[in-house]
Each structure stands twice: as C-alpha cells, then as structure tokens.
C-alpha cells in the first residue's frame, strides 16, 4: 500500500507539475495523494481520469504536511522522503521493498529540515537535482519492480490493449 504527499507551495503556482505528480502516483500504483497546493481543478482532472481509465485513486487537499505525516506514522506507514541528499536508491531498494505501508514525501521548493528527521528513509534518486515527477516515478518503479504495470484498474470505461503498431482501445458498453 503506497500513498504520496506533495508538500510546498510555490509563489507562481506549478499546477502542471502538481498534476503530473498526481498522475504518476496513480499510474504507478499509489492509492492516494495528499497535497498542500489547493487547486480544485486537480481533483476534477483525476476524477475524470478515474472515470475513463478506472480505479479509485484519490486526491486530498491538506493545509499542513506535519499532521498527515504524524497520523500515517501512527498507522504504521513508513515515511520515505525523496531528496537528492538522501541514501542511494540502489543501496536502499531491497529494504524498502519489504515495507508494507509507505508514505512517499516529495517536495516542490526547499523542504523544511524537520522532514529529514521525521522520515524513516531519506532516499536520493541519484545525487543530482532533477524533478519530483521523475524521482517519484523511479522510486515507485524500483519498489514494485514493474509489477505496477500488471495491475488492472477496475471499472474502466476504456482499456488499452497494448499493440506494437497503432492504437487498440477496448470501450466498455454503457446502457444509457
Ligand atoms: N532545491 C530543492 C531542495 O533543495 O530541497 C529541491 C527542488 S526539486 C525540483 C523538488 C523535489 O524533487 C525535491 O523536494 C525532491 O523530493 C525531488 N527530487 C529532485 N531531485 C531528486 C533526487 N535526485 N533524488 C530524490 N528526489 C529528488
């Protein structure tokens, strides 16, 4: 069970990046994202994606990051904070794969120091600065070793049948 929290709010809102963090969370097998960047459109976008492509990924807006991290710790989630300063993913992946419940924390701008201390793991996807979208995707892939792509998204209206050439989409009949 994997959930994600994105913290931080830029002055110039970074809606596309935030939406992409949510889309990657959903597509790479997380169940839920908490975010401090309150933009109702993101909820709407993800609701429509669920309707069309299935599953019940959820988005929850939160005011502060700390209470959710505390709550999840009480629920026995382990906290993984993604940071370029953290432990190498190549060294940490075996032990984090063994965890049953994970809350992944991704930042936007500079993250508060306290997060480094509250986290059970600070993990670097390489030690170069890049993007929360790519860091999250690679972490989720390393944890699940590709198995996230074998999962079905239930109640989808459309389902892609992977093909070598062209597009093959199964459309579910609806009675209305
Ligand atoms: N300058 C910020 C800082 O010093 O914390 C980082 C900004 S970065 C665009 C936003 C987020 O992407 C970070 O908080 C982190 O979660 C993630 N990130 C970027 N590069 C990373 C890396 N090499 N490994 C892990 N996470 C990374």
Mean pLDDT of 160-165: 97
Give the pLDDT confidence of 37-86 residue by residue, as tens digits: 778 899 999 999 999 999 999 999 999 999 999 999 999 999 999 999 99
**Residue 101 DSSP label:** S
pLDDT at 149: 98
Q: What CA–CA distance (Å, rounded) separates 158 from 150?
A: 16
Instruction: Pull the structure tokens for residue 108.
Output: 């936007």
Ligand 1 neighbourhood includes 83 CB (under 6 angstroms): yes
- Residue 45 is assigned to a structural domain of this protein: yes
pLDDT at 8: 79
Half-sphere exposure of 134 (CA within 13 A, CB side): 8
Give the pLDDT confidence of 82-94 residue by residue, as tens digits: 999 999 999 999 9
Considering the entire predicted model, what is its pTM? 0.94
Give the pLDDT confidence of 106-143 residue by residue, as tens digits: 998 889 999 999 999 999 999 999 999 999 999 999 99
Q: Whose CA is nearest to atom 16 of ligand 1?
A: 106
Ligand 1 neighbourhood includes 113 CB (under 6 angstroms): no
**Residue 131 DSSP label:** -
- Residue 33 is assigned to a structural domain of this protein: yes
- Residue 154 is assigned to a structural domain of this protein: yes
- Residue 176 is assigned to a structural domain of this protein: no
Number of domains present in the structure of the chain: 1
CA 38-41-42 angle, 5° bins: 70
Ligand 1 neighbourhood includes 17 CB (under 6 angstroms): no
- Residue 41 is assigned to a structural domain of this protein: yes
- Residue 161 is assigned to a structural domain of this protein: yes
User: Residue 74 is part of which domain span?
Assistant: 2-171
**Length of the chain measured in residues:** 176
- Residue 42 is assigned to a structural domain of this protein: yes
CATH number of the domain where residue 45 is located: 3.40.1280.10
Instruction: Pull the structure tokens for residue 16.
Output: 């596309």
Q: Which residues contact 133 (CB under 8 A, 6 or more apart)?
A: 17, 20, 21, 24
**ipTM value of the model?**
0.92
């Amino acid at each position: 069970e994997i959930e994600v929290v994105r913290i931080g709010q830029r002055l110039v809102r970074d809606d596309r990046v935030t939406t992409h963090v949510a889309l990657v969370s959903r597509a790479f097998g997380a169940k839920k994202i908490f975010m401090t960047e309150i933009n109702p459109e993101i909820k709407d976008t993800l609701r429509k994606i669920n309707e069309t492509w299935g599953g019940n990924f959820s988005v929850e807006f939160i005011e502060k990051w700390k209470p959710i991290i505390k709550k999840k710790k009480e629920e026995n989630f382990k906290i993984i904070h993604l940071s370029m300063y953290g432990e190498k993913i190549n060294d940490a992946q075996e032990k984090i794969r063994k965890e049953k419940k994970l809350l992944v924390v991704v930042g936007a701008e500079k993250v508060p120091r306290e997060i480094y201390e509250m986290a059970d793991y600070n993990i670097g996807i390489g030690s170069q600065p890049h993007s929360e979208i790519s860091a999250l995707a690679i972490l989720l892939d390393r944890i699940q070793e590709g198995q996230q792509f074998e999962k079905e998204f239930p109640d989808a209206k459309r389902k892609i049948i992977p093909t070598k050439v062209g597009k093959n989409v199964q459309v579910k009949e609806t009675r209305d």
